[in-house]
A = this chain, B = another copy of it.
Amino acid sequence: MKEVDFIKSFFDEVRETVVDLYKRRSDLGSSTKSDPTDYLTQADLYVQRCFHERLQKEFPSDFLIGEELGFSNYSDNVDGRAWIIDPIDGTANFLRAYFPIFCVGVAFCINAEISASGVLVPITGEIFLAEKGAGAYMNGSRLSVSNTDSLEKSCIQVDFGRRESRKERLSYIIPPVLNSGLVRCYGSAIMSFVFVAVGSSDAYVHSALKPWDLAPGILLVEEAGGKTSQIDGSPIKVFGKNKGVIATNGIIHDELLRSINEYLKHV
């Protein structure tokens, strides 16, 4: 089975259960002692376990990296065939947000290069798939990034991450906040890459992301015609430490990098 088809069949299998757990987390009455977090944990563990079981059957010798269940250890350079999964990205949104901005993300790497990836948005049922060199698709329709041609006209997504590192991250975020047309912050890194890939936003800026936060989304952006890089313009490392993670429609990429680097010189 092709890796991208494996991703799609996995999404088809888990979708219904994730939607069910999501709905139950909000139907909690006063008669139950359950906490919404219990349903999130169940969804997280279910999705990753299901992926692991399928992987053992289909590609038993492949390496797996994931946020849960003791699969979160990896080295700076992972050789050979490796899979990365984020069972639920946007966990705080799963728990509380009015709009269900969360997803399941998967990426497949060969020698630390992303070769295929996919994102499932459980509530809308939309499946995003990309293969290196073969384009990015949403439910079979080819995706294309926006054609916004200046920062001034752009809609840029930023992310503030964990509170501990908020102050340091502000230096990356203030330039796009000051110079772009519109600013958004949705609280799911993978969904933010998807929004750039579908052209509903023109860029996404994050100061630091883990492999499972970035790998499922960056190939989608690139295969939809966009561009990704670190803040110095060098390629994003899937497993290594990055100086910022930037994804854009390509057209505004250099302008955005310049505005951040200009600002960083003065702080």
Q: Give the interface of A toward B (CB within 8 A).
A: 92, 96-101, 152, 155, 158, 160, 163, 166-167, 170, 174, 177-187, 191, 194-195, 198-201
Contacts and interface: CB of A to CB of B under 8 A. Distances in A.
A176 to B, nearest CB: 10
A205 to B, nearest CB: 13
Secondary structure type dominating chain A contacts: mixed
Contact of A195 (B98, B179, B182, B201): B98
Contacts of A179: 163
Contact of A166 (B101, B163, B178, B186): B178
Given A96-B200, A98-B194, A187 B187 contact: no
Contacts of A92: 155, 182
Nearest to A180: B163
A66 B163 CA distance: 39
Contacts of A194: 98
A183 B185 contact: yes
A177 B186 contact: no
29 contacts: A92-B155, A96-B199, A96-B200, A96-B201, A97-B184, A97-B195, A97-B200, A97-B201, A98-B191, A98-B195, A98-B198, A99-B99, A152-B163, A158-B185, A160-B182, A163-B178, A163-B179, A163-B180, A166-B177, A166-B178, A167-B178, A170-B174, A170-B177, A170-B178, A184-B185, A184-B186, A184-B187, A185-B185, A186-B186
Contacts of A167: 178
A118 to B, nearest CB: 16
Contacts of A98: 191, 194-195, 198, 200
A187 B155 CA distance: 10
A76 to B, nearest CB: 29
Nearest to A202: B96
Nearest to A191: B98
A211 to B, nearest CB: 22
Nearest to A153: B163
A215 B160 CA distance: 29
A125 to B, nearest CB: 13
Contacts of A186: 184, 186
